[in-house]
Amino acid sequence: MRLKSLFQIDIDAGIEVYKMAKNGILLDVRTNQEYAQGHIPESINIDLASLDQVLEKIPDKKTPVFVYCRSGARSSRAVRQMKKAGYFDVTNIGGIENYHGKLEK
């Protein structure tokens, strides 16, 4: 049996690591409607259902990507899909519902 490891950290800690990462991307995989209601500053939105667009928006598979959603479930699936597509510096930072910073609308 082959085990796959998925790296996940707390969303507030994940934002701090993102800010220190050179050329990192903060990826929100919630729906466009959820994103419009409030999102973490500097994040880009690619709905989990449209994750194939990630190749267009993030062509370099070495780019550090920090993925979040509402609760952490969709971001976990997104990380698995991205790793399967060849991205190797992808971190699940969980759900925005646990984020303590300010949101943009």
Q: Report all structural domains of the chain as residue ranges with CATH numbers, in order of start.
A: 23-98 (3.40.250.10)
Active site residues: 69
Residue range 17-50, pLDDT digits in tens: 999 999 999 999 999 999 999 999 999 999 999 9
To the nearest whole percent, how much of the chain has pLDDT over 90?
A: 88
Q: Determine the pLDDT at residue 5.
A: 45
Distance between CA atoms of 57 and 37, rounded to whole angstroms? 22
Q: Determine the pLDDT at residue 55.
A: 85
In the predicted structure, residue 104 carries a pLDDT above the cut 60: yes
Task: Copy the structure tokens of residue 39.
Answer: 């999102």
Q: What does pTM read for this prediction? A: 0.91
In the predicted structure, residue 3 carries a pLDDT above the cut 90: no
Helices (H) and strands (E) in the chain, counts: 4, 4
